[in-house]
Chain A
Amino acid sequence: MAKVKDIASVLAFEKKLVPSDGFFYGTTWDNKDQVTPLALQEKSVRGTISNRLKAAVKNDPAKLDAEVEKPNLQTVDACALGTEQDTLKHYFTLKILGGVETPSACNSAGFKASYQQAAKAYIEKEGFTELARRYAINIANARFLWRNRVGVEQIEVQVKVLNKDQTQSWIFDATQYSTRHFDYADKQLTELTDKIAQALAGGDTSLLLEIATFAQLGKAQEVYPSEELVLDKGKSKKSKVLYQVQGHAAMHSQKIGNALRSIDTWYPAFADQEKTAGPIAIEPYGAVTNLGTAFRTPKEKQDFYSHFDKWARGEALSRVEDEHYVMAILVRGGVFGESDK
């Protein structure tokens, strides 16, 4: 097909995987029905006075004693299971929307037409099964627990369809699914994959899932809700603030979304034993902030824009994996307009 020179300076896609915040409950492995919401605890780490003291205080030993005994408190937030609880319940809902072939904003009719053609061709050919399977595995392996997953004894993920008139549900043993690869295809997984793929491919339909995860950590163990970014450091006395919703410890929906879309094993360094970071989150430049690395650089022509500009204008990509990657970015959503100058 001839290359279309249309340029869309306004181009945006809404996200198609919409998780809620994740809420933290404490419970026991043997009785998962009885749950109590976990609250944050303020912990004070005790230091001592070390600043220069006023002369009046310095010269009076009694006063100095009193001053030195006065603790210099540093306050941090912490969250832990109760002393009788050995299991963390993590709960969120996930809405999956279709209609990725229609940008939510696009100011170039020519670009839109060529993009839609490419997207429809992809849906017809792939039916979203590869992406849906990877999303399903990220639900089944409980990757969204992040640090709470490290060293866990047992994890059970209960998935339920909440749509009206639907009663499907699945239970996964997350320890049977590694977070390092996606080579799984059992019956339960296939069913969940089909559900997700149908929702993604199906125009204006949506799927609502309820995902409750039970992680057996051990009695009174610390758990890790999201950490809040404190912008006004000067005013706040706390050196670490954790996320809560009306007193209920929680995990940011963005963090859950990031875990669910950690399906990118197609970046160049993945196969390199020394450099690989395992599956990384779908991002336009393959950025992993924690490692301070962008795994898809425009120099290597492996970033989203290099692929997308070709693909959306009707050119074929050399690997089907690159198409998966481009579609996964569009499912993630974002603003991708290019300068028309």
Chain B
Amino acid sequence: MNYYQDITLLPDADIALGFLWQKIYQQVHIALVEQKVDEQHSAIAVSFPSFGSNGFPLGNKLRVLAKEQAQLEKLNLAGFLSRFEDYTHLKSIQLVPESVSHVAFVRHRVKGQARIEKDMLSKAQIWSTKSGQSLELCLQQLEKSKPAADSKLPFIWMESLETKAKNLTGSAKFPLFIERVEVAGVREGQLNCYGLSAVRGEQIASVPHF
């Protein structure tokens, strides 16, 4: 990642930063989808330079990074954010400074309460038929290792346009949890269309941090 462009979110007196993040990140996501390199991968990354700040935990800056200047020019963030001129400030494309540290941003999947209950019940049912124990005993055993539904990670509410198109009455909103992972040096990996590292572990994709 050699070039970057910063988007600053300008909170109005009564328009909360969290609400702006929803709107802006949705636009950036759409822009990344239009430039995707295959079914679900993007060549362009995002980073959150003020991740973990006081107040809103993602801070008020979103950085978009690419290997080539032309990629960012083609992405045309100015066009995608033109309707948000009063609420954002878009800087020009700049060269990433030399000697920077590296971090990775990964999407963290958190199961909701409903999903946890459902998984637990089906697990208990399978176990109960296999072992011959009563369902109630199995549930009791599983209760011990039951995961909690909460996560302390910062998230952005996103809306799935695909789900929304299929299902007009229901809500298609979901929280996109974002985790920052410290990495030792540059790591080459694939990015998803949220600009986050597509996988963790060995093939994690890092971004310069400055």
Measured between beta carbons, the chain A residues less than 8 angstroms from B139 are 58
Query: For window 112-166 of chain B, which residues contact chain A by CB distance below 8 Å?
Result: 113-114, 117-118, 121, 125, 134-136, 139
Chain B residue nearest to A83 (CB atoms) is: B168
Interface bracket on A: 35 or more
A307 and B114 alpha carbons, distance in the complex (Å): 57
Measured between beta carbons, the chain B residues less than 8 angstroms from A149 are 86
Q: Is the CB of A290 within 8 A of B86?
A: no
A37-63 CB mask vs B (1 if < 8 Å, else 0) is: 000000101111110000000110100
Residue A279 is within 8 A (CB to CB) of chain B in the complex: yes
Residue B51 is within 8 A (CB to CB) of chain A in the complex: no
Measured between beta carbons, the chain B residues less than 8 angstroms from A248 are none
Q: How far apart are B128's CB and chain A's nearest CB, in angstroms?
A: 8
A262 and B117 alpha carbons, distance in the complex (Å): 48
Query: For window 8-37 of chain B, which residues contact chain A by CB distance below 8 Å?
Result: 10-16, 19-20, 23, 27
Measured between beta carbons, the chain B residues less than 8 angstroms from A180 are 10, 86
Q: Is the CB of B134 within 8 A of A278?
A: no
Q: How far apart are A157's CB and chain B's nearest CB, in angstroms?
A: 15
Q: Out of A50, A83, A151, A262, which one reaches B84, CB within 8 Å?
A: A151
Chain A residue nearest to B149 (CB atoms) is: A50
> What is A's interface to B at a CB cutoff of 8 Å?
43, 45-50, 58-59, 61, 64-65, 68, 83, 146-147, 149-153, 178-180, 220, 258-259, 262, 277-281, 288, 290-291
In the assembled complex, 30 residue pairs joining A and B whose CB atoms fall closer than 8 Å, in A order, are A45-B171, A46-B114, A47-B113, A48-B113, A48-B118, A50-B117, A59-B134, A61-B135, A147-B19, A150-B15, A150-B20, A150-B87, A151-B27, A151-B83, A153-B83, A180-B10, A220-B168, A259-B14, A262-B13, A277-B11, A278-B10, A278-B12, A278-B13, A279-B13, A280-B13, A281-B13, A288-B14, A290-B11, A290-B14, A291-B11
Extra 14 A-B pairs, beta carbons < 8 Å, given A59-B136, A259-B14:
A46-B114, A50-B117, A64-B136, A147-B15, A151-B23, A151-B27, A179-B86, A180-B86, A258-B14, A277-B11, A278-B12, A281-B13, A288-B13, A288-B14
8 A-B pairs with the lowest CB-CB distances in the bound complex, closest first: A48-B117, A61-B135, A288-B13, A280-B13, A179-B86, A151-B83, A48-B114, A58-B136
> What is B's interface to A at a CB cutoff of 8 Å?
10-16, 19-20, 23, 27, 83-87, 113-114, 117-118, 121, 125, 134-136, 139, 168, 171
